[in-house]
Chain A
């Protein structure tokens, strides 16, 4: 934390009575994971900074110097530090986790992931009243953060209070969306759905044409909009996103095959490529 300069050297701390190594700048969750200590998470994803919205990763944090005081913190947001003592399975932690899952189950009774996590913690049924017309969204906001950092901020949380949901500008097809499907792939509960038929992909009420292979015309697994986005964002030539996997592989194999043919004939150097091409 800010008052101590941790430098770059790894240090140790205690998790569930075990000495584990942690690195400066990383969170308790990362250190625990490396040590093989499982902490349940829903909203954490390595591609974005932790956000602490699902509250499932709560752990108890203390230090010897804290004279018995223990705090409940989200492991995904609590920085690892020397001499921290973390408990991931204490009665208090399990109690909080059960509460979180109880609430999530009331919100998303149909989510198989939430059902499974809840059951693992002994919550078979929610003790709250189930939301009317429930969907699978736990409002963790991971989709929004991924879209913001890896794509175009096409979606966000909309409305307030009970009506809060993940949505698009004015509820219409999002103009900034490039159809990359990252939101759908990272969503822990599978709330965001998409469809793909032939060379079209539909998500968020929009329909996208897939980029086609310049050689064989087969649809590529990215949309036309996504290809131009990647060209600009990653500062690459458009040719990077213009051919399908099998055409690329075939062309490479043919080049290698040609080289091998000449090697078999005892030639160390490939004869003039133009001549070769002319003969074919």
Chain B
């Protein structure tokens, strides 16, 4: 089963509940730096929550010199193998959307993994009070 996180920025009210949910899911004490989701203000009352788009031919995957980033074919999620990663930062610079992050306190590259291993269901969508972040279940046969 493929989970797809659908983002509709027109519904975003800039409350940053997604950031909090993410930070508490992936960080020990909800440090803002642990959030893989960032809500950007792009105009008056206009916000865009930004997180990994799980690209098919991802720039991060292509730029990694040790192939530490791969797409899980079953879930269609792009994942970093931290044990293989050499922290060279190539992916952080290569992501054309600025969605690869480096957490200096834990010296780890982090990105949105759709909560793989943390409930396997995007926590941001669970906490979004509007319809901005929703999850679609996609069956294998439907077009990507």
List residues of A whose CB falls within 8 A of some B CB.
Answer: 45-47, 146, 149-151, 180-182, 185-186, 211, 220-222, 226-227, 230, 233-234, 236, 240-241, 243-250, 252-254, 256-257, 259-261, 263-264
Known A-B contacts A150-B86, A185-B86, A261-B46; A222 and B93 likewise in contact (beta carbons under 8 Å): yes
A241 touches B81 (CB 8 A): no
B100 to chain A: which residues have CB within 8 Å?
245
Within 8 Å by CB of B107, from A185, A220, A221, A247, lies: A185
B10 touches A264 (CB 8 A): yes
Q: Does B43 contact A (CB under 8 A)?
A: yes
A151 touches B50 (CB 8 A): no
A253 touches B81 (CB 8 A): no
A253 to chain B: which residues have CB within 8 Å?
40, 42, 48, 50
Contact flags B1-25 to A (C-beta < 8 A → 1, else 0): 0000001111010000000000000
Q: Does B65 contact A (CB under 8 A)?
A: yes
B86 to chain A: which residues have CB within 8 Å?
47, 146, 150, 180, 182, 185-186
Query: Within the assembled complex, what's the spacing in Å between the Cα atoms of A233 and B94?
Result: 14
A226 touches B98 (CB 8 A): no
B134 to chain A: which residues have CB within 8 Å?
none
9 closest Cβ contacts across the A-B interface? A249-B98, A257-B42, A248-B98, A253-B40, A260-B9, A46-B84, A260-B10, A47-B66, A221-B89
Total contacts A-B at CB 8 Å: 126
Q: Does B71 contact A (CB under 8 A)?
A: no
A247 to chain B: which residues have CB within 8 Å?
98
Chain B contacts with A in 35-79, Cβ cutoff 8 A: 38, 40, 42-43, 46-48, 50, 59, 62-66, 68
A227 to chain B: which residues have CB within 8 Å?
93
Identify the closest chain A residue to B65 (Cβ). A150
Query: Within the assembled complex, what's the spacing in Å between the Cα atoms of A248 and B93?
Result: 9
Known A-B contacts A47-B86, A150-B86, A234-B65; A254 and B42 likewise in contact (beta carbons under 8 Å): yes
A245 touches B98 (CB 8 A): yes
Sample (16) of A-B pairs whose CB atoms are under 8 Å apart: A46-B68, A150-B65, A185-B87, A221-B93, A222-B88, A222-B93, A226-B90, A230-B63, A234-B63, A234-B64, A241-B93, A245-B98, A245-B101, A248-B96, A249-B40, A263-B10
Identify the closest chain B residue to A253 (Cβ). B40
List residues of B whose CB falls within 8 A of some A CB.
Answer: 7-10, 12, 38, 40, 42-43, 46-48, 50, 59, 62-66, 68, 81, 83-90, 92-102, 107
Could you tell me the distance in whole angstroms from the C-beta of A263 to the nearest C-beta in chain B? Answer: 5
Within 8 Å by CB of A240, from B38, B43, B93, B107, lies: B93
Query: Within the assembled complex, what's the spacing in Å between the Cα atoms of A279 and B8?
Result: 24
Query: Within the assembled complex, what's the spacing in Å between the Cα atoms of A149 and B93?
Result: 21
Identify the closest chain B residue to A265 (Cβ). B10
Query: Within the assembled complex, what's the spacing in Å between the Cα atoms of A254 and B41?
Result: 9
Could you tell me the distance in whole angstroms from the C-beta of A123 to the nearest C-beta in chain B? Answer: 27
Query: Within the assembled complex, what's the spacing in Å between the Cα atoms of A142 and B131?
Result: 49
B8 to chain A: which residues have CB within 8 Å?
260, 263
Query: Within the assembled complex, what's the spacing in Å between the Cα atoms of A240 and B97?
Result: 11
A221 touches B102 (CB 8 A): yes
Within 8 Å by CB of B93, from A151, A185, A220, A263, lies: A220
Query: Within the assembled complex, what's the spacing in Å between the Cα atoms of A248 and B7?
Result: 18
Could you tell me the distance in whole angstroms from the C-beta of A170 to the nearest C-beta in chain B? Answer: 26
